[in-house]
């Protein structure tokens, strides 16, 4: 099977960042999204008195789930089977694509409605379905917009965050037979999508959703949505396929509650999303509706290798997106710049661990280590710490030392000889003082154009702290 | 793909130790989850009167809540509330509502799949959860699709079916001994913020959600 690539992005994060910083539409969209998520999250937390305890509990549940993951997965599988469903296991993205396509073809499916699934994105499911003659129909408004635009999500919760209203209007004008229908207000856009997608829900042969959680106790897949699209996707077609990954397990329904209580609050600042739906197996004789077939396809894709490793905590992630909403790097360059379905701080850790591509080594470096991601993570993943480990690993594995490494080595040597260091530093500062003249800031500097292209560099003092100290001590003496 | 399955499980077992027999999955599962159950941590909020909290939380999350004395008042309420909108409204009833002997005179009722623009759903919830103003519906009592396909959803909930926290709802679910294919939680009308993060009510599901809290269900 061929893996269809939508476009071949620039392999260098820094070059992509530059393009993103100069992309007016993207900057406008980021500006508008801006601090909305941050404020809503804070307000939701302030409404209850014990969010920190809820975080602790969610963290405990995630750790507990991973501690006996094999038992929980097998119990989950047993319960799914007892409820008339089937569990399939995929080690690689390729296997997952083959499994899903096989299930669709068995049903002679021509169309598949889709709820949002980041695992589906991780394995490039849409392209594979299309190539196999099954038309994937995204139903989440953001995902639908991106399908029209032939683009990838740029955020794990708000996939079309990078699109402005004007861009969506243009996409709809180009793709819908609008006639007299208006498209001025957000409500018009939503209504237009609702009308177009409604028929697809009713016609689709197969419905494919992701899962926010898998409950081992009863073999239940849970999804949270606000639009109601995932729920219709899971309920109306004859076959419901869930594409998800092995780490989504929680042991019991009470454990699911512990996750739900931090998920909505952290993601969109909602105490709970409008819809939370729990699917167990295929419809029985007692059920008033539901699919006749229920399949869960579990993806590993190197997750099992992270268990027990120093990166295990990354598997605690519940995909709320709070880390990217609070990340100054993500907020400046947007999600596409990460060239991965998982952007922002969680993506900067997860992408190199799952994908193992040379270019991914740059991602853990795309951080200022300000620490906001860790401070807002509902399950307290030490994201900067994990990024630091990945940076360290990259340095150790690197065969050729770059200029930055030589500079660090030189600095290490010099700092062990304070007298030499001080003299060199004083000399440097004198040079800088001459170059600076009366200007308080530099507008350009050799080797630092990456900084000075976008902002001025503050000029240092004319002499070092130690020199100034000595000077003042001398002046004080009578 | 059975090989994939055993390879994945083997890799996981390298970290977990895999100390259980696949012949006694249920016993091993119970031993882990019953003995070592974490005491629940619930959000700190006013819960002296769960029904009052349910009503205020549901309202905050966009549902319109009306308290009625008895189930017989549901249809008069529907009549009062359709006057202003349209007389061509069709009411899609869940089986549990259908079996109540209500006076539907003058209202067009149906059990078909809702497709028309003037569709109302009238359903009875299994449980209400005060914590978030959420109602729980079960697919062996009410078709799940009905909850999402109508323009306006009216959910009847008996005061006695309202519990404080999520854990209480799970207890009620376990007490049934039968887990339906779909358990739906609904909190207000459907919404999206996918266009420039502006909240727009009425995405793929109902544009309006009414909760009718009934004092005496029978």
Tell whether B54 and B86 lie within a shared domain. Answer: yes
Q: Give the three-class secondary structure for A198.
A: helix
Tokens 């105490």 -> residue: A271
Report how far residue A258's alpha carbon sits from residue A55's, in angstroms, rounded to the nearest whole number. 8
The reported pLDDT for the residue numbered A2 is: 39
Q: How far is B45 from chain A (nearest CA, A)?
A: 6
Q: Is A130 within a domain?
A: yes
Tell whether B18 and B100 lie within a shared domain. Answer: no
pLDDT tens, B181-215? 999 999 999 999 999 999 999 999 999 999 999 99
Tell whether B135 and B197 lie within a shared domain. Answer: yes
Nearest CA in chain A to B208: A274
Distance of CA A79 to the CA centre of its chain: 30
CB A118 within 8 A of CB A125: no
Tell whether B120 and B211 lie within a shared domain. Answer: yes
Across the interface, do B132 and A251 touch by the CB < 8 Å criterion?
Answer: no
Across the interface, do A68 and B16 touch by the CB < 8 Å criterion?
Answer: yes
Tell whether B31 and B114 lie within a shared domain. Answer: no
CB A110 within 8 A of CB A104: no
Residues in chain B within 8 Å Cβ distance of A290? 139, 144, 181-182
**Using H for helix, E for strand and C for coil, what is the string for B71-89?**
HHHHHHHHHHHHCCCCCCC
Reported for A416-425, long-range contacts at CB under 8 A and 24+ positions apart, including other chains, are: A422/A464, A422/A466, A422/A467, A425/A464
The reported pLDDT for the residue numbered A7 is: 55
Element (H, E) at A56: helix A51-67
Q: Is B150 within a domain?
A: yes
Q: Is A161 within a domain?
A: yes
Tell whether B162 and B110 lie within a shared domain. Answer: yes
Across the interface, do A288 and B139 touch by the CB < 8 Å criterion?
Answer: yes
Q: Give the three-class secondary structure for A388.
A: helix
pLDDT tens, A103-149? 999 999 999 999 999 999 999 999 999 999 999 999 999 999 999 99
Tell whether B123 and B15 lie within a shared domain. Answer: no
Q: Give the three-class secondary structure for A256.
A: helix
Q: Is A376 within a domain?
A: no
Q: How far is B182 from chain A (nearest CA, A)?
A: 5
Q: Is A422 within a domain?
A: yes
Nearest CA in chain B to A45: B43
Across the interface, do A145 and B191 touch by the CB < 8 Å criterion?
Answer: no
Last residue of a domain, one of A305, A338, A361: A305
Tell whether B28 and B55 lie within a shared domain. Answer: no
Nearest CA in chain A to B63: A274
Tell whether A175 and A50 lie within a shared domain. Answer: yes
Report how far residue A67's alpha carbon sits from residue A302's, in angstroms, rounded to the nearest whole number. 17
What residues have CB less than 8 Å from A52, skipping those under 6 apart? none
The reported pLDDT for the residue numbered A4 is: 42
Q: Is B76 within a domain?
A: yes
**For residue A429, what are the domain limits?**
406-476
The reported pLDDT for the residue numbered A5 is: 43
Q: Does B195 touch chain A (CB under 8 A)?
A: yes
Point out which residues pair with A245 in neighbouring strands: A299
Query: Model pTM?
Result: 0.92
Residues of chain A below pLDDT 50: 1-6
Q: Does B53 touch chain A (CB under 8 A)?
A: no
Mutate to test the interface with B, among A185, A246, A278, A324 (most CBs of B within 10 A): A278
Tell whether B96 and B197 lie within a shared domain. Answer: yes
Tell whether B167 and B106 lie within a shared domain. Answer: yes
Q: Which of B13, B41, B113 sits opposite A54 (nearest CB)?
A: B41
Q: Which of A88, A226, A279 sits opposite B203 (nearest CB)?
A: A226
Point out which residues pair with A239 in neighbouring strands: A206, A293
The reported pLDDT for the residue numbered B217 is: 61
The reported pLDDT for the residue numbered B2 is: 65
The ipTM of this complex is 0.96
Across the interface, do A139 and B190 touch by the CB < 8 Å criterion?
Answer: no
Residues in chain B within 8 Å Cβ distance of A64? 36, 38
**Using H for helix, E for strand and C for coil, what is the string for A287-354?**
CCCCCCEEEEEEECCCHHHHCCCCCHHHHHCCCCCHHHHCCHHHHHHCCHHHCCCCCHHHHHHHHHHH
How many domains does chain A divide into? 2
Pairing relation of β-strands A213-215 and A220-225?
antiparallel
Tell whether A57 and A197 lie within a shared domain. Answer: yes
Report how far residue A148's alpha carbon sits from residue A170's, in angstroms, rounded to the nearest whole number. 11
Number of A to B CB contacts under 8 A, please give it. Answer: 283
Residues in chain B within 8 Å Cβ distance of A47? 45
Q: Is B187 within a domain?
A: yes
Report how far residue A258's alpha carbon sits from residue A246's, in angstroms, rounded to the nearest whole number. 19
The reported pLDDT for the residue numbered A434 is: 83
Stretch 63-92 of chain B: residues touching chain A, C-beta under 8 Å: none
Tell whether B158 and B204 lie within a shared domain. Answer: yes
Report how far residue B55's alpha carbon sits from residue B48's, in angstroms, rounded to the nearest whole number. 13
**For residue B154, what are the domain limits?**
50-216
What b-and-e string marks burial along B6-25, b requiring 16 or more CB atoms within 10 Å of the CB? eebbebbbebbebebeeeeb
Tell whether B108 and B22 lie within a shared domain. Answer: no
Q: Is A311 within a domain?
A: no
| Tokens at A82, concatenated | 């007892």
Report how far residue B17's alpha carbon sits from residue A68's, in angstroms, rounded to the nearest whole number. 8
Report how far residue B134's alpha carbon sits from residue B131's, in angstroms, rounded to the nearest whole number. 8
> Quick one: CA torsion of A353, A354, A355, A357, rounded to 10 degrees?
10
Report how far residue A273's alpha carbon sits from residue A51's, in angstroms, rounded to the nearest whole number. 17
Q: Is B107 within a domain?
A: yes
CATH number at residue B192: 3.40.50.10420
CATH number at residue A145: 3.40.50.10420
Q: Does B39 touch chain A (CB under 8 A)?
A: no
CB A299 within 8 A of CB A93: yes
Q: Which of B41, B27, B17, B13 is nearest to B166 (CA)?
A: B41
How many domains does chain B divide into? 2
Point out which residues pair with A276 in neighbouring strands: A224, B185
Residues of chain B below pLDDT 50: 1
Q: Is B26 within a domain?
A: yes
């Amino acid at each position: 099977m061929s893996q269809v690539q939508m476009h071949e992005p620039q392999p260098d994060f820094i070059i992509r960042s530059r393009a993103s910083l100069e992309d007016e539409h993207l900057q406008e969209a980021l500006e508008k999204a801006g601090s909305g998520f941050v404020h809503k999250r804070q307000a939701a937390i302030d409404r209850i008195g014990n969010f920190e305890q809820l975080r602790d509990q969610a963290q405990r549940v995630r750790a507990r789930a991973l501690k006996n993951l094999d038992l929980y997965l097998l119990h989950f599988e047993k319960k799914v089977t007892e409820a008339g469903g089937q569990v399939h296991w995929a080690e690689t993205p390729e296997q997952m694509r083959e499994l899903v396509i096989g299930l669709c073809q068995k049903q002679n499916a021509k169309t598949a409605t889709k709820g949002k699934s980041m695992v589906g994105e991780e394995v490039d499911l849409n392209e594979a379905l299309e190539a196999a003659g099954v038309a994937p129909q995204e139903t989440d408004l953001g995902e639908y917009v991106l399908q029209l635009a032939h683009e990838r999500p740029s955020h794990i919760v708000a996939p079309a965050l990078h699109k402005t209203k004007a861009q969506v209007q243009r996409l709809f004008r180009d793709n819908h037979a609008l006639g007299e229908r208006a498209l001025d207000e957000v409500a018009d856009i939503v209504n237009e999508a609702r009308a177009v997608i409604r028929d697809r829900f009713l016609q689709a042969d197969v419905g494919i959703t992701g899962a926010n959680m898998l409950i081992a106790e009863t073999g239940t897949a849970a999804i949270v949505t606000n639009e109601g699209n995932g729920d219709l996707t899971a309920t109306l077609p004859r076959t419901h396929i869930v594409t998800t990954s092995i780490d989504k397990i929680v042991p019991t329904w009470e454990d699911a509650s512990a996750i739900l209580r931090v998920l909505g609050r952290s993601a969109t600042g909602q105490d709970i999303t409008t819809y939370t739906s729990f699917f167990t197996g295929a419809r029985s004789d007692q059920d008033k509706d539901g699919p006749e077939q229920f399949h869960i396809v579990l993806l590993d894709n190197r997750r099992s290798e992270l268990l027990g490793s120093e990166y295990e905590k990354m598997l605690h992630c519940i995909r709320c997106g709070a880390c990217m909403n609070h990340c100054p790097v993500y907020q400046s360059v947007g999600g596409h710049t990460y060239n991965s379905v998982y952007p922002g701080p969680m993506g900067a850790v997860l992408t190199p661990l799952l994908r193992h591509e040379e270019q991914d080594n740059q991602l853990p470096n795309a951080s200022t280590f300000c620490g906001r991601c860790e401070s807002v993570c509902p399950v307290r993943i030490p994201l900067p710490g994990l990024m630091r480990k990945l940076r360290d690993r990259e340095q150790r594995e690197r065969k050729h030392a770059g200029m930055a490494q030589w500079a660090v080595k030189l600095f290490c040597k010099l700092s062990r000889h304070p007298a030499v260091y001080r003299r060199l530093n004083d000399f440097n500062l004198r040079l800088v003082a001459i170059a600076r003249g009366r200007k308080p800031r530099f507008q350009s500097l050799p080797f630092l154009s990456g900084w000075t292209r976008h902002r001025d560099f503050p000029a240092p003092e004319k002499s070092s702290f130690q020199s100034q100290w000595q000077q003042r001590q001398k002046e004080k003496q009578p | 793909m059975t090989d994939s399955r055993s390879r994945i499980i083997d890799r996981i077992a390298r970290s977990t130790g895999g100390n259980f027999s696949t012949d006694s999955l249920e016993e091993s599962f119970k031993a882990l989850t019953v003995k070592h159950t974490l005491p629940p941590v619930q959000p700190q909020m006013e819960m002296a009167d769960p029904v009052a909290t349910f009503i205020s939380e549901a309202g905050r999350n966009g549902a319109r809540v009306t308290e009625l004395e008895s189930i017989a008042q549901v249809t008069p309420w529907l009549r009062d509330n359709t006057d202003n909108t349209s007389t061509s409204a069709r009411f899609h009833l869940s089986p549990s509502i259908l079996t109540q002997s209500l006076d539907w005179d003058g209202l067009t009722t149906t059990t078909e799949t809702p497709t028309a623009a003037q569709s109302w759903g009238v359903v009875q919830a299994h449980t209400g959860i005060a914590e978030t103003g959420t109602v729980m519906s079960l697919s062996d009592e009410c078709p799940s699709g009905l909850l999402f396909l109508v323009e306006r959803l009216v959910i009847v909930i008996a005061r006695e079916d309202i519990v404080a926290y999520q854990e209480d709802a799970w207890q009620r679910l376990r007490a049934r001994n039968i887990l339906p294919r779909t358990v739906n939680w609904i909190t207000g009308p459907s919404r999206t913020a996918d266009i420039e993060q502006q909240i727009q009510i009425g995405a793929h599901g109902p544009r309006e959600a009414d909760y009718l809290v009934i004092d005496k269900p029978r």
